[in-house]
Chains A and B, each alone.
Chain A
Amino acid sequence: DQQVKQNSPSLSVQEGRISILNCDYTNSMFDYFLWYKKYPAEGPTFLISISSIKDKNEDGRFTVFLNKSAKHLSLHIVPSQPGDSAVYFCAASEGSGAGSYQLTFGKGTKLSVIP
């Protein structure tokens, strides 16, 4: 039973436009969410996170929105650049403190930014 779902396996966006990657979760105990970016043949790298006490977190071109009532989060990339082409994983956990060791990952969305 998938607790973190990324329903779009792939997404294509023109350079300069907005990329919106979506993620849904079913476990109401999740209260900390992260996005990781992965290039082929490399390990994932941390991108941005959000705690459930917030509904938005911004870092440069990347913004994550959290809608707790809908159990939905999204990652916005504005403007999209060709170097953003990668697989993006959504992840969630119960808690974000020192005792939080279990992250549940979605299946990933492959973003292609077309020059």
Chain B
Amino acid sequence: DGGITQSPKYLFRKEGQNVTLSCEQNLNHDAMYWYRQDPGQGLRLIYYSQIVNDFQKGDIAEGYSVSREKKESFPLTVTSAQKNPTAFYLCASSLLGHGRNSPLHFGNGTRLTVT
């Protein structure tokens, strides 16, 4: 059963610690994305990757880092430099760009709480 797996579902960290969120997909999609959702807000793009070993900054990349060593995996590291890391993080993938034949498929998200 193909899909996107994000783990863990809930994550708690102390301020000043880096934390890595996992995202794995078995849809054979080329493109992968990380979005952030805050209460009452839309989804904002953090980073995206079109192909292995390549990634681009989205609208709010500061304080985050990513890697794309394998097609199936796109982990996101929330660094201590991120001012407001507490949020709901969504990973997504698509065949190429997100166009009409390739809508974004989302994982079920990781809720990160930093205290």
User: Which A residues lie at the B interface, using CB under 8 A?
Assistant: 4, 9, 32, 34, 36, 41-46, 49, 51, 89, 91, 93, 95-108
Contact = CB atoms under 8 A, between A and B. Distances in A.
Contacts of B96: 97-98
Interface stretch (B11-19, B67-75, B76-84, B103-111): B103-111
Given A32-B100, A34-B103, A42-B109, 7 more contacts: A46-B104, A97-B96, A97-B99, A98-B97, A101-B50, A103-B104, A105-B35
Contact of A51 (B6, B98, B100): B100
17 contacts: A32-B99, A34-B103, A42-B109, A43-B90, A43-B92, A43-B106, A44-B90, A46-B103, A46-B104, A49-B103, A89-B43, A96-B100, A101-B33, A103-B98, A105-B43, A105-B44, A107-B40
Interface in B1-28: 4, 6, 9
B45 A42 contact: no
Contacts of A95: 97, 99
Interface residues of B, number: 30
A100 B90 CA distance: 19
A49 B100 contact: yes
Contacts of B58: 102
B42 A41 contact: no
Contacts of B45: 102-103
Nearest to B4: A43
B48 interface: yes
A96 B99 contact: yes
Contacts of A96: 97-100
A108 B35 CA distance: 15
Nearest to A99: B97
Contact of A100 (B56, B92, B99, B105): B99
Contact of B42 (A34, A98, A105): A105
Interface string B37-49: 0001111110010
B99 A41 contact: no
A89 B42 CA distance: 7
